[in-house]
Structure 1
Amino acid sequence: MNDTAAEIASQPDTWQRSLALTDQANELIAPGERMLLLGCGTSWFVAQSLAELRERAGFGETDAVCASEFRPHRRYDRIVAVTRSGTSTEVLEALRLVPASTRTVAITAVRGEPVDNLTDTQLVLDFADERSVVQTRFPTTVLALARHAFGEDLTEAIEQARDALEASLPADPADIEHLVFLGTGWTVGLANEAALKVREAAQAYSESYPAKDFRHGPVAVAGRNSLVWSFGDTDPALDEVARAAGATTYRSKQDPLAQLVLAQRFALTMAAHRGLDPDHPRLLTRSVVLTP
């Protein structure tokens, strides 16, 4: 078993462990505050989901911005940076632009990294850190912790994640050349993350969209070697649109976070079919650290 597969399999346990950190997760609740979440790559997609979840829970206005696009033009009470390594250049550069009066928080997997000196406090999920370049358990554990802190019961999601580790894949990766992941609300971030996993691990053609936007152009490239995968409560009529284009469709009643575990397994199996090592993805490193 490679590192990525082992880390995928560990997710129900890391989610369960995260539930004990609810008090520390109060930094993500901050009722009534206006919050911004920052991240790059996977961490940006986590930020997208977190922003939707926090607003849905009624804790206040919440935005999510790719760290490289952060501009200090809007006022926020609190800025939260999601960064597994604590070393990503764009995240550090964004934090240096934050006004001193704004509270800053890092969600990270490693202690003692540069992000510590640029934030007021750190929420450290070191038990969810990863050896693999491709992130799997760290981002899902962040989301599990946040959902629990926001008042959700994660018991069923954790059990469904265990089921997802054994479930049949929705299609044979050998037959699929193109994947489209769709989401709505907080699951748009999950769709973005699932598509990224396929690109990173399997070097395959994958896209992601807010679900109803699928009809506004993306359907044009769907065909008989496409898999259209829906996360969460998306419009079932979109399956008919995809099937009319010749694509295979997949949706499930399982918790969307558990569905992401299945999507991670799909990416891993697709990588194996293509003879690729997901622990060493092409042109990627654990953290993007840019030289001046």
Structure 2
Amino acid sequence: MHTYNEIKNQAEQLHKTYELLEKETFNTGEVDQVIFTGCGTSFYLASSAARYYQNATGVFAAAVPASELFLHASTWIIPGKKYLVVAISRSGTTSEIIMALDNLKENEQIRTLAITCNGDTAMAEMADEVIALDHISEQSVVMTQSFSNMMYALQLYAVKWAESEQDLNELSRIPDLVNALIASEDQTKVIAENLTKKRFIYLGSGQYNGLAKEATLKLKEMTQTECESYSSLEFRHGPISIVDESTVVILLAQKETAAFDQSLVKDIQRLGGYVLVIGPTNEDFEADQLIRLTDEITDHNRYSLYVPLLQFLAYQRAVRLGFNPDQPRNLTQVVKLA
């Protein structure tokens, strides 16, 4: 199984990404806003990366689907303002990314950075700068290690721009910590293989909202399971009405949200929902299942530790349901517009 192997060996690839980015220098320059853009998984990555970048650097950042930058560019680009547009694509050939970069190329106020797992593409040629993770060569249709590695590369890019030694030191530990988590992949099987559960909901706030959306997409792509994602505390404002005994809620916990997470879990449980909490929870935290992550790394740098667990959950459920994760229905590795 390509998908399984590419989830399993992403720690090794994270090591390579760290070594690559550690040596790189970039033309940061002054900008008024950074726009992160992509499609599908790459857009959810952009959403998380924008929140991380703004937190690390103090520069305003936003995430925009790539199609918005050629369909509605005037609603995002203000004349006279300086922008850095960070374009994200695993293949470097996604149609909307190419069209977005082409639409922006004549604007002298816009500088572009491409991040891709294929440096020999039109996307890379069109951008002013490139982060090419050519050591990532996924054969799977769904994005796994490409997602974690491109996010990790953008985190390293941000902290190098901010010259934050503390963040860089924490990020240097990520590959080894991910490797340890991958060794305990069976933690997610309890719920992944429980077929009495029909509905899955992922909750995450801040930069983890993008990850909640990506986890939802992974499960949907591999299993066609009914699933949704929300910002954590928004879940009470309507969506909680669908919770019943067939519902699983996966909460991406953080130290920043600790004061609110426990009461949210209790509210979901009272309605019959099963709650899996992943994160740096305290010893007295209660849920149906807990997967505790280290609190020795700050919330914004812990991101990659959640990723393989969420990918394993989707993979394991696909296998339990009899699906082939390498051949998801109605999907191809690259989306190209006619």
Q: Give the TM-score normalised by structure 1.
A: 0.92
Q: 1:156 to 1:243 in 2, by over 3 A?
A: farther
| Corresponding position: 1:280 with 2:297 | no
* Alpha-carbon shift at residue 178 of structure 1 (Å): 1.2
What residue number does 1:69 align with?
A: 68
2:119/2:133 contact within 8 Å kept: no
Query: Gapped runs of 5+ residues in structure 1?
Result: none
2:273 to 243, 247, 260: 247
Give CA-to-partner distance per residue, 1:104-152, whole Å, 9 cap, x none.
Answer: 1110111222213321222101112311010010111112222234142
Counterpart contact for 2:93–2:121, Cα < 8 Å? yes
Q: Indicate whether 1:199 and 2:204 are aligned.
A: no
1:148 — aligned with what? 156
Question: Identity across aligned pairs (percent)?
Answer: 27
Q: Name the CA distance, whole Å, in 2 between partners of 1:14 and 1:163.
A: 14
Structure 1 counterpart of 2:100: 94
Match status 1:162 vs 2:182: no
Amino acid in structure 2 at the alignment position of 1:5 = Y
SS of the counterpart of 1:132? coil
Pair 12,280 (structure 1): closer, same or farther in 2 beyond 3 Å: same
Q: Which residue of 2 aligns with 1:112?
A: 120
Amino acid across the alignment from 1:239:
V
Q: Which string of whole-angstrom CA distances, capped at 9 and with x for unpartnered residues, describes residues 186-240 of structure 1?
A: 1111111100000011111111111111101111112212211111424312111
In the alignment, the residues of structure 2 paired with residue 58 and residue 220 of structure 1 have an alpha-carbon distance, to the nearest angstrom, of 39
1:32 shift after superposition? 5.2
Gaps of 5+ in 2: 281-292, 294-301
Question: Matched residue of 2:131: which SS?
Answer: strand
Conservation of the 8 A alpha-carbon contact between 1:85 and 1:108:
yes
Match of 2:247 in 1: 226
Counterparts in 2 of 1:172 and 1:49: CA distance versus 1, 3 Å: closer
Q: Is the 8 A contact 1:231 1:256 kept in 2?
A: no
Q: Using the alignment, how far apart are the partners of 1:173 and 1:213 within structure 2?
A: 28
Written as runs of structure 1 = structure 2, the 5 A alignment for 1:11-26 is 11-22=10-21
Counterpart of 2:288 in structure 1 is none
Q: How many residues align?
A: 290
- SS at 2:203's partner residue? strand
Query: Which structure would you say has the larger Rg?
Result: 2
Q: Tell me the residue number matched to 2:317.
A: 270
What is the TM-score when the length of structure 2 is the normalising length? 0.80
Aligned-CA RMSD value:
2.0
Give the partner amino acid of 2:107: A
